[in-house]
Structure 1
Amino acid sequence: MLKKAIQYMIISAFAFALLNAFVKNLNQFSVYQIVFFRSIGSLLFTIPYLLRNKISMLGNKKGLLVLRSVFGVISMILFFLSIKFLPMGSAVSIRYTAPIFATVLAFFLLKENIKILQWVCFLIAFLGVAFLKGFDAEVSTIGLMYAIISAIFSGLVFITIRKINTNDHPMVVVNYFMIIAAIVGGVLSINTWVQPKGTEWLFLLGLGVFGYFGQYYMTKALQTSETNLVAPLKYIEVIFTMLIGLAYFKEAYTFWSLIGIGLIITGLVFNIIVKQSKRAI
């Protein structure tokens, strides 16, 4: 089962890396238009699934479903913006600090405990962010801020999903998100709409396809084996994304950038291990 889970997580990481590359490649389109097509592409999968399995699209926790979607749309827009300003590997690494923000927010909003070692892990991860900016003049300040704020809103997504709990089917949660993202992206892109041509259609629709399969296989991996064994593997996305960036976009990473990314991933991986530990420290 573990071998299968590892395969699923690698497929998921590669799908998300391709999604990131597609976003980077579609510079001629506004972020809002990219969000629109990213959402429409995924709805081609979520709506048929719900109809086929006779699952109500309206859901039960409607207020929380809308709130989760709003947080998710803001996070997505800001992350896509960050990719335009930062090397993809840096943007993805910073976005993955979302679980840290989720844990801290849960500490204040839900009164959940945080282990001492988790605080150490958080410090390591944020030290990595500091290395990215403090020692690399090539890192855009605005891009860094977009990525960090995106991670904060992604953390709020985690908190909201936790409140929804099992009251709604996971596909209903995703479907709400994609519908609201399509509406927001569509409306905000009206004034800057660029008519896609030729292969651009494939790239735009591919956003939703790779986004959906990335999420699908990540879910299957987490369902197939223990979370603490496979969850750290999702950070392979950073490696895949960096390799694509180096090969296709000729992105460059300084020594300090690599140290920063390494610290972020180290802090996040150990946070998962510590969080899954039964013994509070």
Structure 2
Amino acid sequence: MIFSVLAFSLMNTVVKYLNVFNVYQIVFFRSIGTLAFTVPLIIKYKIPFLGTHKKLLALRGLAGVISLTCFFQSLNYLAIGTAVSLRYTSPIFAAIFALIFLKEKIKLMQWFLFIVAFIGVLIIKGFGVEVNSIGLLFILCSAISLGLIFVIIRKIGDKENPLIIINYFMVMAFVFGGIMSINNWRNPTLNEWILLLSLGIFGYVGQLYMTKAFQLYETNVIAPLKYLEVIFMIIIGASWFGEIYNLWTLLGIFLILLGLVYNIYLKRQKDKAG
């Protein structure tokens, strides 16, 4: 999970830096870099390309494309630390989807913690540094899709190789990003080529280790480390991009992290008791 956090943090930073490019072109390059890893490895280890749970894999890929595109789009409207923080409301939606599709019960204390986290979102929107409504819509759409992804991966479990799960996602992103960027193409410079292709490398490392982490039973123990990304992004946003985070924004982010991390702790205690 630590490898995943570092990789995603670097990827987010590069995406924010490359905001002169259309979001679809960024999605396209994000997929190319990752496919350069997944396809040769799948061929090398003779893993069936289509997997065995085709419908779930396709749904995970579609949700991934929506979440990724909306997240990248939100970075054009929101501070990078704020966007990443708001995206981490995804466990709230994951719990709701798990309740509906996996029949997993949500305890009263968990609902309370989710409300605490959502109050954090409202504080950021209402009292923090001005939050663009369009950006907020994009990031919440990304969070909802990400919540669905967590549930789908859990449903698949360890029945599919992580490479296949990632490959479905990246092939769909490649097709979608490629088609959508045809009329909005911008020719990169040499440095921009390097940065655009690096997105796939960082994304591959982040996606691979995140997928492996969520496939393991011990995920609840290590999941809080994922939230280090918020801290990294606030530091990068303030120091590199000159973004401003007032006390209300930081309070909102704190409430989001408090609600979600403590919820993970409760689930861990429940698993130990069980």
Q: Which of the numbers 33, 36, 48 marks the counterpart of 1:44?
A: 36
1:222 to partner: Cα distance: 6.7
**Which amino acid letter does the alignment assign opposite residue 55 of structure 1?**
I
Q: Distance in 2 between matches of 1:220 and 1:253?
A: 33
**What does residue range 47-196 of structure 1 map to in structure 2 within 5 Å?**
47-196=39-188
Q: Distance in 2 between matches of 1:106 and 1:130?
A: 24
Who is 1:256 aligned against? 248
Structure 1 regions of 5+ residues with no counterpart? 1-8
* Contact in 1 for aligned 2:153/2:214 (Cα 8 Å): no
1:131 to partner: Cα distance: 0.7
**Which amino acid letter does the alignment assign opposite residue 38 of structure 2?**
T
Q: Distance in 2 between matches of 1:224 and 1:108?
A: 22
Q: Which of the numbers 9, 13, 17 marks the counterpart of 1:21?
A: 13
Q: Report which stretch shifted further, 158-167 or 224-233.
A: 224-233
1:220 to partner: Cα distance: 6.0
**What does residue range 232-243 of structure 1 map to in structure 2 within 5 Å?**
232-243=224-235
Q: Which of the numbers 209, 217, 224 marks the counterpart of 2:201?
A: 209
Q: Distance in 1 between matches of 2:43 and 2:11?
A: 26
Q: Distance in 2 between matches of 1:150 and 1:219?
A: 17
Change (3 A) 1:198 1:187: same
The TM-score, its normalising length taken from structure 1, stands at 0.91
1:223 to partner: Cα distance: 8.0
The TM-score, its normalising length taken from structure 2, stands at 0.93
Structure 2 regions of 5+ residues with no counterpart? none
Number of paired residues? 273
1:61 to partner: Cα distance: 1.3
1:225 to partner: Cα distance: 9.4
Q: Distance in 2 between matches of 1:247 and 1:139?
A: 20
SS of the counterpart of 2:182?
A: coil
* Contact in 1 for aligned 2:31/2:174 (Cα 8 Å): yes
Change (3 A) 1:159 1:56: same
Q: Distance in 2 between matches of 1:273 and 1:28?
A: 41
